[in-house]
A and B are shown apart, each in its own frame.
Chain A
Amino acid sequence: GAGVSQTPSNKVTEKGKYVELRCDPISGHTALYWYRQSLGQGPEFLIYFQGTGAADDSGLPNDRFFAVRPEGSVSTLKIQRTERGDSAVYLCASSLEYQETQYFGPGTRLLVL
């Protein structure tokens, strides 16, 4: 079956603009995670969804970041008023159930100029 997919694969934007990053998890996976990977670093947790609700958003860096998963499948990570420091690879992962192994998408590489 298909793995986790993310679109776009690359996004270049200007400082101050709004961006949306999409994640399509593996079909049937109830848990969905977003991570951010800066250059030379390991991925860092941003937010976790169980079904439609954000069960843990403690990793979101500030209120410019927001994510939704309205139907319990596809998720969108939204970044308002982008800053150059937001440049990173944003990774999405899903798992069949909570506490299960997570499967990662290829990521979206965001560059804020």
Chain B
Amino acid sequence: AQSVTQLGSHVSVSEGALVLLRCNYSSSVPPYLFWYVQYPNQGLQLLLKYTSAATLVKGINGFEAEFKKSETSFHLTKPSAHMSDAAEYFCAVFSTSGTYKYIFGTGTRLKVLA
């Protein structure tokens, strides 16, 4: 069965600093992987997705993620944090056993310090 693990439920960075949010997946087949962002009292917004094309995926708002099969990782990065990046971030894998439904990690809350 597929699963994702997000290391660090809370991450704090200074404005302008590198953002690194970690996600590791478990899958016996090539996975489809996603990062979503959730702002307070809002729904999940797709940041980027990996669907077995290029291993470096660029998303919205300057975020990108790199698929590393050898490390079973799909970490999210942004070179320079902005105050508006403060939100909760979820990594997800598409389950391919049965229904194509998302399996989400537990989320990482990003705090950006002025």
Give A contacts to B, CB under 8 Å.
3-4, 33, 35, 40-45, 48, 55-56, 58-59, 91, 93, 98-99, 101-107
Shortest CB-to-CB span from A36 to chain B, Å, is 11
Count B interface residues, CB 8 Å: 23
Q: Within 8 Å of chain A (Cβ to Cβ): is B25?
A: no
**CB nearest to A103 among chain B residues:** B46
Chain B residues positioned under 8 Å from A93 (CB to CB): 44
Interchain CB contact under 8 A, A106 and B41: yes
With A43-B44, A101-B46: A48-B107 Cβ-Cβ less than 8 Å: no
Contact A104 B90 (CB under 8 A): no
Taken together as a complex, chains A and B put the C-alpha atoms of A93 and B44 apart, in Å, by 9
13 A-B contact pairs sorted by A residue (CB < 8 Å)? A4-B43, A40-B107, A41-B107, A42-B104, A42-B106, A55-B99, A56-B101, A58-B98, A58-B99, A98-B100, A105-B43, A106-B41, A107-B43
Contact pick for B49, options A44, A48, A101, CB 8 Å: A101
Taking a contact as CB atoms under 8 Å apart, the answer to whether A43 and B102 are in contact is yes
Q: Are A44 and B104 in contact, CB atoms less than 8 angstroms apart?
A: yes
Beyond the given pairs A40-B107, A104-B43, A106-B43, 12 more chain A to chain B contacts, judged by CB atoms under 8 angstroms and listed by A's residue number, are: A33-B101, A42-B90, A42-B92, A42-B104, A42-B107, A45-B102, A48-B99, A59-B101, A91-B44, A98-B100, A99-B94, A106-B41
The answer to whether B31 has its CB under 8 Å from any CB of chain A is no
Render B40-54 as a binary contact track against A, CB cut-off 8 A, 1 for contact.
Answer: 011111100100000
Residues of A within 8 A of B103 (CB): 45
**Cα–Cα, bound, A59→B104 (Å):** 14
C-alpha spacing A98/B100, complex, angstroms: 7
Kindly state the separation between the CA atoms of A51 and B104 in the bound complex, as whole angstroms.
24
Expressed in whole angstroms, the Cα–Cα distance for A40 and B99 within the complex equals 25
Q: A101-B46, A104-B43, A104-B44 are in contact. Are A56 and B106 (CB under 8 A)?
A: no
A35 contact set on B, CB distance < 8 A: 102
